[in-house]
């Protein structure tokens, strides 16, 4: 497994958009939270979360992402376990099924970070510390808000994650609260610490 620094270098090489970098960092911190909760290798989960969309800017469509990204990772000596998990976050296009806990966690943490980030950025303070679960619930109900976040998809992949790793006991809003808490603990890293407030 490569290091965080190597993963971050990869991100910086391929991803110029600050929003996409923030998304990948958010998924990384959520993945670390769940790895620690479930007793898995937190560094491996975090790094997988960090690089899962590294090729989106150069392959911004699902015919190429993440399949062509996997080729780049192989060329650079990334391990097959990490590559397989990244391919599993788009099973429909890659044919790689989600089978391990890390696979289910990645997909469950992926899209929901977008709604949480958007909720933080519309606050005057631009500080994720000020975001409460009830604010996210409100935004969840408004389909026009962060419209790219598929609510049905998030619900479905959270249920899959719950079944695979929590005996079906992890409900949607507990999961969203967990991801929010993980992101709040990394506010500075995510640049959601109020630095962009007017």
What are the boundaries of each domain within the chain? 4-184
* Alpha-carbon gap, residue 67 to 63, rounded angstroms: 8
For residue range 39-69, list pLDDT tens digits in order: 999 999 999 999 999 999 999 999 999 999 9
pLDDT digit string (tens) for 10-39? 999 999 999 999 999 999 999 999 999 999
- Residue owning tokens 């560094």: 43
Q: What percent of the chain has pLDDT over 70?
A: 99
Q: How far is CA 194 from CA 25, 54, 62, 169, 174, in A?
A: 17, 26, 34, 34, 25
User: What are the pLDDT digits (tens) for 79-91?
Assistant: 999 999 999 999 9
Rounded to whole angstroms, the Cα distance separating 26 from 112 reads 10
The β-bridge partners of 193 are 127
Express each pLDDT in 109-120 by its tens digit. Answer: 999 999 999 999
Overall average pLDDT of the 110-135 stretch: 97
- Assign 76 a pLDDT band (cuts: 50, 70, 90): very high
- When pLDDT is cut at 50, 70 and 90, the band that residue 1 belongs to is confident
Kindly report the pTM of this predicted structure. Answer: 0.97
- What local confidence, expressed as pLDDT, does residue 37 receive? 98
Dist. CA 112–CA 105, nearest whole Å: 12
* Range 4-184 classified under CATH 1.10.3470: no
């Amino acid at each position: 497994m490569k290091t965080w620094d190597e993963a971050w270098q990869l991100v910086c090489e391929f991803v110029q958009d600050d929003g996409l970098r923030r998304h990948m960092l958010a998924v990384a911190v959520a993945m670390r939270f769940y790895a620690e909760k479930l007793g898995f290798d937190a560094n491996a989960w975090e790094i997988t979360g960090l690089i899962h969309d590294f090729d989106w800017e150069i392959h911004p469509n699902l015919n190429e992402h993440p399949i062509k990204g996997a080729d780049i990772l192989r060329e650079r000596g990334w391990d097959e376990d990490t590559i397989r998990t990244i391919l599993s976050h788009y099973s429909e296009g890659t044919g790689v099924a989600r089978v391990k806990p890390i696979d289910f966690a990645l997909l469950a943490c992926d899209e929901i970070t977008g709604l949480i980030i958007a909720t933080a950025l519309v606050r005057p303070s631009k500080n994720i510390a000020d975001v409460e679960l009830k604010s996210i619930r409100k935004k969840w109900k408004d389909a026009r808000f962060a419209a790219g976040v598929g609510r049905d998809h998030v619900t479905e992949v959270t249920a899959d994650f719950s079944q695979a790793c929590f005996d079906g006991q992890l409900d949607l809003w507990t999961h969203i609260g967990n991801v929010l808490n993980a992101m709040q603990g990394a506010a500075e890293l995510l640049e959601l610490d109020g630095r962009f407030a007017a």
